[in-house]
Amino acid sequence: MHQHKEKEIKKVLHDVYDSTSFRKLGHQVVDMIADHIEKVQTDINHPVLNYQDPEKELEFWKQDFSSNSTISEVFRNILDHSISVHHPRYIGHQVSVPALVSGIAGLMSDTLSNGTGVYEMGMASNAIEKIITDLVAKRIGYNTQASGFLTSGGTLANLTALLAARKAKAPSAIWEDGHQEKLAVLVSEEAHYCIDRAARILGMGSDGIIKIPVDDHFRIDTKILDTYYQQAKSDGFTVIAIVGCSCSTSTGSYDNLNALADFAEKYQLWFHVDGAHGGAVLFSNQYQHLVHGISRADSVVIDFHKMLMVPSLNTGLIFKRSEDAYKTFEQKAQYLWDSQHTTEWYHSGKRTFECTKSMMAIKIYAILKTYGEEVFELNVDTLYNLASLFAELIKQRPNFELALQPEANIVNFRYLTAKDENLNAFNSKLREQIVTSGKFYIVQTRLNGNVYLRTSIMNPLTQKSDLIALLDFIEMLVAS
């Protein structure tokens, strides 16, 4: 009996790793995904999202979990119950439409499962990661003293950058001795919420996050920086850093990086640029002027999974001085490497929160090897140009109001109704109707207390006709 059970166990484990079964299933799933993408790209009536109430969706998967559905059926159901970012009428959140070759690279990454914290566990990916981050550093305008790495998302990258700022600028050795001073950072009130979260994680508290009001274009108001800085000092804070947005999440507005760099140099602050979304313009001759001055930053974050066609999560954090990357996490890990104080680029775990991380560099590398850097430029230019076009289409319709002329691929607008109506509630309801219809996917935001419909044009296959159709559909909803 015991031998029989042993044979069963060996057979099951053999089946788990059977390459023949993997090959067969892999072909089925790739065909399934390819058919799905072809469908959403060519059939305009195919829904962007088959929206379901959360409890109803949970019940569906509970039933599936207890059923005898095959793994092929499960994958089919996942496709049918997920949003289709490859649909030309997906114009919602800032999530890239992944280049298909990067999805193939992801399959290789997941299957090989080479954690890249130490060189031996990720030889290829560590070397490729250095090539990618050196390329971005060069685009920023840094010299050969720069160094960077990839990590899982802008939130983690921004937190790491502020950790480096604290290490470099805090009067005491907090990593070893804990907090001795009240620390603070200066940041736009339009900055991504992860900056606020990072400062709180670092123990600065809500008072240590000095939020600077913005101007009419939602850029940090540089004229009042001195006032806020001096007030923070009077309140007993040691300001260690200032953060620039390239671009802001809600509006796509770019801060004046040269003015922020001047301010940082004046008071010897760390200057960090959150370019998670809009830093991709470094690859665009047409739009790189939006980040003029970025080479003066001490650190820069860029999400490859936003404007650079890579699946999420995949973020680059680049330091102007390589030593800043290594000093952030100085601690012993004898089983990984001999010394923490040496600066081997090939041990990425010395510089990141993550010791084990996926081979994310190969997803970027696959795109670059297949299409070259110019594909990034084409993508950025196409999406930013579409946003300008969409803004003009909105202006042509008297019942629509454009929040501001877009600098990036983010466009905010609202529908104007009779004066006695609650415009915020009205536009929120419009957004709900749009999403539940499945015909388009957009989101909403608040600007100066007002609700606006917010679109991020992320798909380079989106056409002028799709944008016109969205406005037509909104007018049809209002009229019905």
Per residue in 214-269, pLDDT tens? Answer: 999 999 999 999 999 999 999 999 999 999 999 998 999 999 999 999 999 999 99
Report the pLDDT value the prediction gives residue 307, as an integer from 0 to 100.
96
Helices (H) and strands (E) in the chain, counts: 17, 11
pTM of the model: 0.92
Among the listed residues 39, 80, 78, 99, the one whose alpha carbon sits nearest the alpha carbon of residue 458? 99
Contact partners, residue 447, CB within 8 Å, separation at least 6: 218, 250, 251, 403, 412
> By the 8 A CB rule, do 41 and 86 touch?
yes
Band the pLDDT of 334: cuts 50, 70, 90: very low
> At the top level of CATH, which class does the domain 107-371 belong to?
alpha beta
CA 404/CA 2 separation, integer angstroms: 73
Q: What is the pLDDT of residues 176-192, one digit of tens each?
A: 767 778 889 999 988 87
Question: What burial class does residue 65 get, using C-beta atoms within 10 Å of its C-beta: 0-12 exposed, 13-18 middle, 19+ buried?
Answer: exposed
Superfamily of domain 374-479: Aspartate Aminotransferase, domain 1 (3.90.1150.10)
Domain ranges of the chain: 107-371, 374-479
Report the pLDDT value the prediction gives residue 435, as an integer from 0 to 100.
95
Sheet containing strand 237-245, strands side by side: 147-151, 315-319, 299-303, 270-274, 237-245, 182-188, 209-212
Band the pLDDT of 91: cuts 50, 70, 90: very high
Flag whether pLDDT at 342 surpasses 60: no
Dihedral (CA of 145, 149, 154, 155) sign: negative
CA dihedral 16, 18, 20, 24 (to 10 degrees): 10
CA 266/CA 337 separation, integer angstroms: 39
| 3-class SS of residue 240 | strand
